[in-house]
DNA sequence: TCGATATAGTTACAGCCGTAACTGTAATTT
DNA sequence: AAATTACAGTTACGGCTGTAACTATATCGA
């Protein structure tokens, strides 16, 4: 009778592997927005989402990013404090606010986009184009797990 | 002149993709050890490392897992509280403790190994063997980024 | 030997996190 | 219309986090 224990190797276990690689890639870019603007990951994602899609509501940001609504709420508050976004109350439904970047917010987004594209290139050069695409596709596929 | 902004898509940005997929995979298994034993991820990793390699020092656990030393310190404390591990002070260097699982700790490890293998199979079935291996290999490659 | 440096591991602190409960508003039911 | 239910967003709370400072021990260099 074979022991289950011997079949298990943490270093080949997908949750471990994924998290490990994710930290590596994700923290590499975090250093950039953290050092440049003192932003958290939630703030960066909210900024990026608003920069990419234009004005959205908090709920729409949740949908686009998968961030928890409390993270969005806090990130929006903090970005607003920097004067990087404005809230515009919806007249038909006063629970809802349109969130739109100010020009300062857009500048910061532009600057981080360029850094993001450079970072992307760095990882792509490391992996090679073919593997980079393979990896992106596999990760996208996992969204439906 | 083309704007950098238009080239940037958060949903195709590797740090975002990686983190998203990682959460999905990693939290799927977290539910198991959290619900079954009320463990945190750090605690699970320390348990798994001790289970797999036998007795180790805290520093060796850091090396094997990449966990921050404060996480290891706290996880060891908490696992010790459950009586799942014992500390044995090194006689030559009294700063160091050998950490070894008790039989209760080993049972818990066994139980989670089986769950881990089942979870692994679930993800493998979802992706297919070929893609599963491709993904594992790519993630392993990223460790050297 | 003695002072300086390095290492193993812990802890205080301040910040981030998710859960659950909350406020305020809108929509639905009776 | 009043009561109920649903929804957008916020917040209190307790738990987890990393940084930096710490304790205790060991090692190195003069």
pLDDT band of B144, cuts 50, 70, 90? confident
Residues 109-138 of A with CB under 7 A from strand C: none
Q: Do B10 and A49 touch (CB under 8 A)?
A: yes
SS (H, E, C) chain B: CCCCHHHCCHHHCHHHHHHHHHHHHHHHHHHHHHHHHCCCHHHHHHHHHHHHHCCECHHHHHHHHCCCHHHHHHHHHHHHHCCCEEEEECCCCCCCEEEEECHHHHHHHHHHHHHHHHHHHHHHHHHCHHHHHHHHHHHHHHCCC
Please state, as a whole number, how many other Cβ atoms lie within 10 Å of the Cβ of residue B125. 10
> What average pLDDT does this structure show over B73-78?
97
Is a pLDDT exceeding 90 seen at residue B16?
A: yes
Is a pLDDT exceeding 70 seen at residue A126?
A: yes
pLDDT band of B145, cuts 50, 70, 90? confident
Is a pLDDT exceeding 60 seen at residue B2?
A: no
Is a pLDDT exceeding 80 seen at residue A122?
A: yes
Structural domains in chain B, sorted by start: 39-142 (1.10.10.10)
If one compares A66 and A7, the residue with the highest pLDDT of the two is: A66
Chain B residue numbers touching A51 (CB-CB < 8 A): 5
pLDDT band of B64, cuts 50, 70, 90? very high
pLDDT band of B3, cuts 50, 70, 90? very low
Query: pLDDT (tens digit, 9 = 90+) per residue, A12-41?
Result: 999 999 999 999 999 999 999 999 999 999
Query: pLDDT (tens digit, 9 = 90+) per residue, A57-99?
Result: 999 999 999 999 999 999 999 999 999 999 999 999 999 999 9
pLDDT band of B6, cuts 50, 70, 90? low
Burial class (CB within 10 angstroms; exposed 0-12, middle 13-18, buried 19+) of A60: middle
* Nearest residue of A to residue B123, measured between CA atoms: A145
Please state, as a whole number, how many other Cβ atoms lie within 10 Å of the Cβ of residue A83. 11
Chain A residue numbers touching B135 (CB-CB < 8 A): 14, 135, 138
Is a pLDDT exceeding 90 seen at residue A137?
A: yes
Distance in angstroms (rounded) separating the CA atoms of residues B5 and B127 = 33
Give the per-residue pLDDT at A84. Answer: 97
Residues 35-54 of A with CB under 7 A from strand C: 40-42
Closest Cα to residue B20, out of A139, A21, A14?
A: A139
The whole model's pTM is what?
0.91
Distance in angstroms (rounded) separating the CA atoms of residues B141 and B145 = 8
pLDDT averaged over every residue in chain B: 93
> What average pLDDT does this structure show over B108-131?
95
SS (H, E, C) chain A: CCCCHHHCCHHHCHHHHHHHHHHHHHHHHHHHHHHHHCCCHHHHHHHHHHHHHCCECHHHHHHHHCCCHHHHHHHHHHHHHCCCEEEEECCCCCCCEEEEECHHHHHHHHHHHHHHHHHHHHHHHHHCHHHHHHHHHHHHHHCCC
Is a pLDDT exceeding 60 seen at residue B61?
A: yes
> What average pLDDT does this structure show over A103-111?
96
């Amino acid at each position: 009778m074979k022991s289950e224990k011997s079949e298990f190797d943490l270093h080949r276990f997908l949750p471990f592997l994924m998290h490990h690689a994710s930290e590596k890639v994700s923290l590499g870019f975090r250093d950039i927005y953290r050092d440049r603007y003192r932003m958290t990951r939630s703030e960066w994602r909210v900024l990026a989402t608003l920069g990419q899609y234009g004005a959205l509501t908090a709920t729409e940001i949740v949908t686009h990013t998968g961030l928890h609504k409390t993270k969005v709420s806090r990130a929006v508050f903090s970005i607003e404090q920097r004067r990087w976004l404005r809230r515009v109350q919806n007249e038909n439904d006063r629970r809802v606010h349109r969130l739109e970047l100010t020009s300062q917010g857009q500048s910061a987004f532009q600057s981080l986009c360029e850094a993001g594209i450079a970072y992307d290139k760095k990882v792509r050069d490391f992996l090679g184009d073919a593997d980079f695409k393979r990896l992106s596709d596999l990760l996208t596929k996992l969204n439906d797990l």
